[in-house]
Amino acid sequence: MSGRSGSALLPATFEERGAVVPFTTPALSLSRVRRDARQRMILLMPNFGGTEGAFVVPWNAVREVTTMSVHDRALHEEIEASEAVSPEQLRGCALRIGQTGLAGPMVAEASRLAIEAEKRKLAELHFLLIISLLNSMGLATEELMALNPNSEAWRARAKVLLGQAGQRIGIDVNDIYTRVAALARVLVPVGLSAGRQEGRLRGVLNGFADFRDTITEWSESEKSELAPFANFVGFIADDTLRSADRLFRQLDAGVRDMVSVVRDWNTHAKAVVGLTGKLCWLLDGWDFIFVFWDQVQNDPIEIQREAVGRIVRVLPLIPRNEAEGPQDELEQRQQQLQGRQLQSNADWRRARADLDLVTRIEAAKAKVVAR
């Protein structure tokens, strides 16, 4: 283990911040994986001891730092084999390991359903994008809409219409199929604003306002040293919500003109991929925080305080180079918190505390996967 990482507190880029690894072992929960300067995988472990920063651990040494659950050992091996370091890559690893049942039956069932749901969403997106392209070119889609998208009749009719579209914009019908299919795969996490598909990340947006409001209200009534930290969490949630909303509007505008997207593929596809990737990074880890906070709403104040302390230490701050607009208020709030030591009242080494927390984390993980 190589000490603390100051950059984990306010990184320059999303890649430097790392992506959340959905471990269930309490000491590892909401740790982040990234590559170091030599492109080696490392883990940033939140420090729950009472000081700022994160511990930096080489990926192959994680097992030596803490006792891992069977699920976490399997997930650790899967991530290493896949060399997964992005949010969507890690989600894939988590779903594959989750459906094995190593994190409990709730996570197994949620993972299975999530995998099936994403397959359906991909097929629906492909259908919606084709309809959008044809409609934007004034080609009649009523007959196509009346057919079963899985039928041979639908595929034959779609090929005829896409052939007509290709002739108008000078693109081979096979290239249109390839580009629409690639666009559908990219858009699965976000969906389409104009379609019936919300997308998983759009669903995450729905949790921000309630979380921001409840944790800010909690901070205003709290008498301990955690009050300003909880208020800071509410501020970061609001800042992230505004950034995500702006990115979604840019993305939706980018895919609204399907003719331009398909015709000017290199330009438009690159922009769509970039915006979708930014949203995946920006919202990474927030869904778990929302569920984790919701779990303690009716618990005693001591448990709520522990939850706030844990959230503060894993808060997904927007990296310096990714933020838009002036950062004066953020810097001022951070300065106000400097010198304040965030203590932990729980002894995370106790077997009972660890068991209760593992159960809570697994339940939160199941809810997150099921969304």
User: Average pLDDT, stretch 274-295?
Assistant: 94
Which amino acid, 220? E
At residue 198, the pLDDT reads: 78
Longest Cα–Cα distance of the chain, Å, equals: 69
Residue 339 has pLDDT above 60, yes or no: no
Contact call for residues 2 and 57 (beta carbons, < 8 A): yes
What are the two backbone dihedrals, phi and then psi, of residue 187, each rounded to the nearest 5 degrees?
A: -85, -5
Closest CA to 346 of 285, 298, 296: 296
pLDDT tens profile 57-107: 999 999 998 889 899 999 999 999 999 999 999 999 999 999 999 988 888
Q: What confidence tier does 1 reach under pLDDT thresholds 50, 70, 90?
A: very low
User: Average pLDDT, stretch 15-44?
Assistant: 91
Q: What confidence tier does 2 reach under pLDDT thresholds 50, 70, 90?
A: very low
User: Average pLDDT, stretch 297-324?
Assistant: 89
pTM > 0.75? yes
Cα distances (angstroms) measured from residue 13 to each of 268, 281, 317, 325: 23, 10, 10, 16
Residue 347 has pLDDT above 70, yes or no: no
Contact call for residues 197 and 121 (beta carbons, < 8 A): yes
Q: In what order do the strands lie in the sheet with 32-35?
A: 4-5, 54-58, 41-46, 32-35, 19-20
Q: Tokens representing 194? A: 């104009």
Q: Tokens representing 105? A: 């039956």
User: Average pLDDT, stretch 279-292?
Assistant: 94
